């Protein structure tokens, strides 16, 4: 057994169940990694590979989390690029879509380049910049989308808000379409005010609620404009059954619309909120059991093609404010695979291959990226996932700087044990050492 992890291989993974949606493959096969890529065979004159027995584990192409808040610059107390990307690899995520609601917001090419430089320095997950849709995220005029794309932005969003003026949204969507970039929309009426879903729980706690209509009316607008312009609109963090129905209809009609759902909206509903506990405060809010069930059905039937965390770290100080004053948002990078495996796979709603697709080919399709795959020639991004590993969510052990999770104390079965990015091991559970042999 190696005394320490080799930095870059070569590696031979044997006996694992390979789940590769890009080529429709679900079966046992060896995976070889060398010089940062998946290879068909090792060089005869190269070094001896490190061999890892992956029996009983799943081998996944590198998962992508399309919706992550890294907070830097401006919110380093809650998260930094380095801590967020380290949390990602610990959670089995190899690439994250970084949201632009930083301070200053990511609405200039310089801010895009600075994010990419911080990500490279982290030595963890890769980052996919999602720059501002409008200048300063103010919703009044489109940002210079072409310059942002040239600097490395793969998508545009004012996440945390949406332009209230449909004409502004249409103009920006038209510009993004010309660049071949999607618009990711926080589909919630900017005039909506409230702290929980406008339902029984908000009434019982005496809090103002956010009605479902505040979301699905914006989804209606977005679908209509996607149809009109041909621009791809991706609806972030869906929460209502009406929104799911709208996206189902749009996709059946062939319009360029997609959607995502978070682990917390799949796992929880308003009835799970224990009281004035701000770890359960998020935007959009947890809605009714019927809404939660519609989200699960939408993922299971292929209407919703993307799972994403909306990882929104906040400091303990901020979350300890009185409920109406506490910021909305929960973290999710280190629990995402475990929670969604429990809700979708263990219950039989999805096959392991279909679940993997929602973390790999689904987000790649939205971003027009090459789909993650374990086919020879592909970049060496992969995760080993132990579907039988039982573990308890303990926020104090998180790598993230924040602890605001509603899943504290949950017993999960299914956990990443190794994450590889560009052929280099970025995270390994101690159990991996017990299964390694070969080059020291």
Active site residues: 310
Q: Which residue has the tokens 């190696």?
A: 2
- CB atoms near residue 121 (< 10 Å): 11
**Any idea what the Cα angle at residue 37 is, between residues 34 and 40, rounded to 5°?**
70
Q: Encode burial over 124-161: b for 16+ CB neighbours within 10 A, e otherwise.
A: bbbbbbbbbbbbebebeebbbbeebbebebbbbbbbbb
Residue 56's CB: how many other CB atoms inside 10 A? 13
């Amino acid at each position: 057994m190696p005394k320490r992890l080799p930095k870059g291989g070569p590696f031979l993974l044997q006996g694992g169940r390979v789940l590769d949606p890009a080529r429709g493959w679900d079966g046992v096969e060896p995976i070889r990694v060398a010089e940062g890529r998946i290879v068909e065979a090792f060089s005869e004159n190269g070094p001896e590979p490190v061999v890892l027995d992956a029996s009983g584990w799943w081998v996944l192409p590198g998962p992508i989390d399309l919706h992550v808040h890294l907070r830097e610059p401006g919110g380093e107390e809650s998260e930094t690029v380095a801590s967020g990307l380290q949390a990602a690899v610990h959670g089995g995520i190899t690439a994250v879509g970084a949201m632009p609601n930083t301070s200053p917001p990511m609405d200039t090419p310089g801010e895009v380049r600075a994010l990419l430089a911080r990500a490279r320095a982290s030595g963890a997950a890769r980052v996919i910049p999602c720059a501002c849709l409008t200048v300063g995220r103010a919703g009044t005029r489109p940002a210079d989308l072409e310059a942002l794309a040239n600097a490395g932005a793969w998508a545009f969003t004012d996440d945390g808000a949406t332009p209230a003026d449909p004409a502004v949204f249409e103009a920006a969507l038209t510009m993004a379409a010309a660049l071949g970039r999607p618009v990711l929309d926080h589909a919630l009426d900017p005039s909506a005010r409230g702290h929980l879903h406008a339902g029984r729980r908000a009434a019982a706690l005496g809090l103002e609620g956010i009605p479902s209509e505040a979301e699905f009316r914006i989804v209606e607008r977005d679908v209509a404009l996607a149809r009109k312009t041909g621009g791809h609109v991706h609806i972030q963090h869906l929460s209502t059954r009406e929104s799911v129905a709208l996206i189902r209809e749009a996709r059946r009609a062939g319009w360029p619309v997609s959607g995502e759902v978070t682990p917390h909206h799949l796992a929880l509903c308003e009835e799970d909120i224990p009281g004035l506990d701000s770890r359960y405060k998020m935007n959009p809010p947890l809605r009714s059991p019927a809404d939660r069930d519609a989200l699960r059905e939408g993922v299971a039937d292929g209407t919703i093609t993307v799972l994403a965390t909306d990882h929104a770290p906040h400091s303990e100080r901020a979350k300890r404010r009185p409920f109406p004053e506490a910021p909305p948002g929960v973290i999710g990078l280190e629990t995402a695979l475990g929670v969604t495996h429990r809700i979708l796979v263990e219950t039989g709603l999805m096959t392991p291959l279909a679940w993997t697709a929602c973390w790999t080919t689904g987000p790649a399709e939205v971003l027009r990226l090459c789909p993650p795959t374990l086919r020879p020639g592909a970049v060496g991004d992969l995760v080993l996932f132990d579907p039988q590993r039982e573990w308890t969510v303990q926020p104090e052990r998180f790598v993230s700087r924040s602890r605001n999770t509603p899943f504290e104390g949950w017993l999960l079965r299914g956990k990443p044990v190794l994450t590889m990015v560009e052929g280099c091991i970025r995270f390994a559970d101690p159990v991996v050492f017990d299964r390694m042999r070969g080059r020291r």
